[in-house]
Structure 1
Amino acid sequence: MDGDLGDFLRSRRARIQPEEVGLPSYGRRRVPGLRREEVAQLAGVSVDYYIRLEQGRGPGGPSRTKSGGVSDTVLDAVARVLCLDETERAYLHAVARPRRPSGRPAAPRVRPGVQLLLDSMERTPAFVLDVRMDVLAWNALADAVFDYDRIAPDARNIPRHVFLDPASRTFYPDWPAVAVQCVAHLRVRAGHHQDDRRLTALVGELSLKSDDFRRLWADHPVRECAFGVKRIQHPVAGLLTFPYETMALPADPDQNLLVYTPEPASETTERLALLGSWTSASTVPEPTERA
């Protein structure tokens, strides 16, 4: 995705104050954060080299060098100056040296063994995501919570649901945090899969249709969402609080298993069991009007 490297470096420069890296601050600056010249000085590269890197005109950009692009040493030095965390550092390496297109990617498929694993999880909602955050497979409880069996395949995409479905703002009581988390996770995937045309198309669609997505994407958040807690306001079961864990599938590196793990004996566990029993009996009641 054109411009990602420069946008990322500029966003990270803006958050670092000169005194944080041992530089004197000479009064008020026109723009926040470090200047490009200061980053170059601290990273031990020439100003022209760093400017070309940030503008995408040199190593790692459209005009790649004969040596194959910017070195690990330079990228690590820039990462150190900009105080990048582990995820941001990996993202920097990915966008500075994108993979070459490998042809039209095959449609992702979930192995039968993974589906059996999902189905064996009878007390926890679980599903599999690909790099676009499409939901590829799920178990019965995940269907009870998200209704995946009854919605169109295109709607089984978490970013589309979060940003294009007005009901998501009620479904997720903490919608602003969920939105940031969603974009940060998608940014990581986009950085490592710049040759994925379907992912590029998804970002373009969301940028065109959602002002919130476009603003958050421009902020360039980069964060793995390996675990945490998510709250869901289910139309039948009420408020559900789910700690969750995300695990990569070793044999399918572009797929992640996401498991919601409610606390034992919690109200969420009780409501989930009741919701599951309703779903199994195919008698899920309509939401009742609350006083």
Structure 2
Amino acid sequence: MGLMDELGKFLKSRRARLHPADCGLGCYGERRRVPGLRREELAQLAGVSVSYYARLEQGLGQNVSDAVLDSLARALRLDEAEHTHLVALARPRRSAAGRAPRVARQLPAGLRRLMTMMGDVPVMVLSPTADVIAWNPLAHAVFGRHHEVLPNMTRLIFLDPQTRALFTNWEVKARSVVAHLRMVAARFPADGGVRALVGELLASSAEFAALWEDHSVANCDSFTNVLHHPQVGELTLFQEVLRTEEPELMLVAFTVEPNSPSETALRLLGTLAAEHADRRVTVS
């Protein structure tokens, strides 16, 4: 599936969620055959011709200008992540889409030192497609006790029953990781690893396929993970992401509310983990 085809599907999905009344357009009580805005209504709001907009949805548009993309983003009420995704689909050269993400074969020394210093915090390093490049013992104790080989976190969310049972808010988490993967797929459409992961999940999980069809996108840098851990019980972890550019990696740290039951549970889990593992960072 080409980027222009994906652009058309994304535009249709965002158009379908809007109602004329929300955009100051009158309905006059007529029956509507399509959900959301019609093509001509969106073209009017964006200040482009109906024929030009129709070509975009049909995957036939080329060299879409910044002005048109900005107008479409405003008319569709896109947030920042959705606007970035729109540009990645419509302007692949500008957004650097198509190149494969350069992921380090070894954990950079600076990230290794940082992870070692964060021994009391669950922390992992992920590739753009959520392959675990490294995690510390506490992150392993939280998310991967039953995995000796470093996994792909998106694959675990959908295909691993123990990981699914870990997340009390699994539905919210699942939607979040799919929204992130869609942005990655748009930025790196020629990368075989991205295509293989999406294909595997589409074939193996009906829930993933349904969420993928929704075309939602998000950076997911901040997220609240609500867990029921089999060893320590309820655990709420606040996720924050630090990104590096060369190589492109994500340092993901998980914190707790000070003086909370989650802090007590995490401290207990750290004690239990220390009894069965050393304090070194595990890397691929």
Output the TM-score relative to the length of structure 1. 0.87
Unaligned stretches of 5+ residues in structure 1: 60-68, 284-291
Contact 1:245 1:258 in 2 (8 A): yes
Q: Distance in 1 between matches of 2:169 and 2:176?
A: 11
Do structure 1's residue 139 and structure 2's residue 136 form an aligned pair?
yes
Do structure 1's residue 46 and structure 2's residue 46 form an aligned pair?
no
What's the CA shift for 1:105?
5.8
Match of 1:34 in 2: 37
Match of 1:216 in 2: 211
Secondary structure at the aligned position of 1:194 is classed as coil
Task: Tell me which moved more, 243-252 or 85-94.
Answer: 243-252
Match of 2:280 in 1: none
- The structure whose RCO (Cα within 8 Å, separation 6+) is larger is 2
Amino acid corresponding to residue 61 of structure 2 in structure 1 = G
Match of 1:196 in 2: 191
Distance 1:223 1:107, change over 3 A: closer
Do structure 1's residue 108 and structure 2's residue 104 form an aligned pair?
yes
Contact 1:168 1:175 in 2 (8 A): no
Secondary structure at the aligned position of 1:168 is classed as helix
Match of 1:95 in 2: 89
Contact 2:125 2:134 in 1 (8 A): yes
- Number of aligned residue pairs: give it: 270
**What is the root-mean-square deviation in Å for CA atoms of aligned residues?**
1.9
Once the two structures are superposed, residues 247-268 of structure 1 have per-residue CA deviations (whole angstroms, 9 ceiling, x without a partner) of: 212544x211111111222222
Once the two structures are superposed, residues 111-170 of structure 1 have per-residue CA deviations (whole angstroms, 9 ceiling, x without a partner) of: 1210110111021101111110111111121122123694334xx111110111122331
Amino acid corresponding to residue 14 of structure 1 in structure 2 = A
Correspondent of 2:260 among 260, 263, 266: 266
Task: Tell me which moved more, 12-21 or 39-48.
Answer: 39-48
Match of 2:127 in 1: 130
Contact 1:98 1:194 in 2 (8 A): no
What's the CA shift for 1:205?
0.8
Q: Distance in 1 between matches of 2:102 and 2:87?
A: 25
Amino acid corresponding to residue 143 of structure 1 in structure 2 = H
Output the TM-score relative to the length of structure 2. 0.89
Correspondent of 2:14 among 12, 15, 21: 12
What's the CA shift for 1:106?
5.1
